[in-house]
Every structure is written in C-alpha cells, then in structure tokens.
Structure 1
C-alpha cells in the first residue's frame, strides 16, 4: 500500500464551542469539557490531518491514546484541538496532539492510528 503522500508535519485543527454534547457535569455549574470528548476531538483532528493523503479506499482507525487532561474548559468556551503527524511506520501513524481553550493549554499527548482498507458493503 503506497503511503508516499504521507509526510511528517501534516496537521489539522478543530475549533469548536464546548456545548452540552461535550461536557460532564460532576464538576458543578454548567459543566466542563469531558476527557472522552477531548480525546474524541484529538482523534478527529488526526483523521483530518491525513485522510486526503491516503490511498483511495483507505482510512485510519485509532489504536492508542496517551494524553493528559490537566485543566477544565467550561461550557460555552472555545476549545482548539490540534494533531500533527510525527511518525510513519508502515501502516502505523503517530501524532502529537494538544488542546487549548481561550486562556490556556488544557491537554496534550500522543495518539496512534493505523491505515486500513475500507470494507465494501453489499
């Protein structure tokens, strides 16, 4: 499977407002960005960074996440999540991921994805 179009340094950024779908409320108030939501945004950024560079009929699936979520982002604030491709090892990709809100860095780490062929339906 040719992956010669993939190069370290490919990036994607997702900017979104923390809403009811992304919060956990056990912290009180209107809620804060949940860790699973932050990780989901990091995964989506990783997908977006490489999808247009994959061979036709291929996509990626996540298989490893190592992140720290060290600050709360309240509902209504904007969160920006970035992924940067740092390593290509055959079908396996490694990304540097981070999340910032309007005021501070709220999470970072690494995420790994594997390139797979999309299953044909029918």
Structure 2
C-alpha cells in the first residue's frame, strides 16, 4: 500500500465534559471545544498517514486553517474526516471536516510533515541543553 492523494480516513469521539470549551478554557459554554475538534481532525489525518509510513516515521502537524461552524452538545458523537489532497515531498495537505449527528460542524485545511521520530525528538530535546 502506498500513500497517495484521494485517501480518506475517519475517526470519532463522544462529546463529554472533558472535551468541552469550558474544560479546555477556550470558551464559557458546555459544548465541544474548538481545540478538541481541531485535534480530532488532526488525529484523522495522522492515522491516515501512519498506515502507509515505514517503521520509525510519523507525521507532525504544521498548519491548521479551520472554521468551527456549529455547536455540539455533551452526549453527541463527532466524526472527523481527512482526505489527502496533495503530496509535495514530505509535506502532506489534507481537507478536513467534522460533523455531529445532525450535520457539519467544522471544515478546513491541514498540513503535516513526514519526520523520522527519533531525529525529530532528538532535535526537540536538544532545546533543553
């Protein structure tokens, strides 16, 4: 199997107290938090790419451009969908969207870069020196 444009992956989560805007500190209402929705979209893209990458490689998120268009209350399920639309070397571009049981709640674009996990962590940890 090979990483190619047109691939699609979905993942889902139930809205609970722990992923509300209040819990995230991103708002004052008891609905699915925008950062939680973005994280779910990133997870869909990550899981899509990881299926096709060799051992020791993964992707890291580098860009999100997302609109959160509708609120989802506690107790509803949210599904995020990522479609790989472009591959430029190690840069992967995705169209992402999220929906709850009544319809769309968010959409946008997301980019990830393919990295070697060990080298990436070494670079990050070198900041501690």
Q: What TM-score, normalized to structure 2?
A: 0.84
1:8 to 5, 8, 16: 5
Flag structure 2 segments of 5+ consecutive residues without an equivalent: 23-27, 122-129
Cα shift at 1:56 = 2.3
Q: Secondary structure at the match of 1:46?
A: helix
For each residue in 1:60-115, what CA deviation from the matched residue of structure 2 results, as whole angstroms up to 9, or x when unmatched? 00000000001100011111111111100000000010000010100000000000
Corresponding residue pairs, total = 116
* Unmatched tracts of structure 1, length 5 or more: none
Report the secondary structure of 1:81's partner residue: strand
Structure 1 segments (4+ residues) deviating >4 Å: none
Contact 1:10 1:50 in 2 (8 A): no
Q: What's the C-alpha RMSD, in Å, of the aligned pairs?
A: 1.7
2:110: which partner in 1? Answer: 111
Separation in structure 2 between the aligned mates of residue 52 and residue 86 of structure 1, nearest angstrom:
16
**Map of 2:80 onto structure 1:** 81
Residue range with higher mean Cα deviation, 88-97 or 51-60: 51-60
Larger fraction in strand: 1
CA contact (8 A) 1:33 1:72 kept: yes
Tell me which residue corresponds to 1:35: 34
Q: Which has the higher helix share?
A: 2
Instruction: Give the TM-score normalised by structure 1.
Output: 0.89
Distance in 1, matches of 2:31 and 2:17, equals: 9
Counterparts of 2:106 and 2:51, CA distance in 1: 26
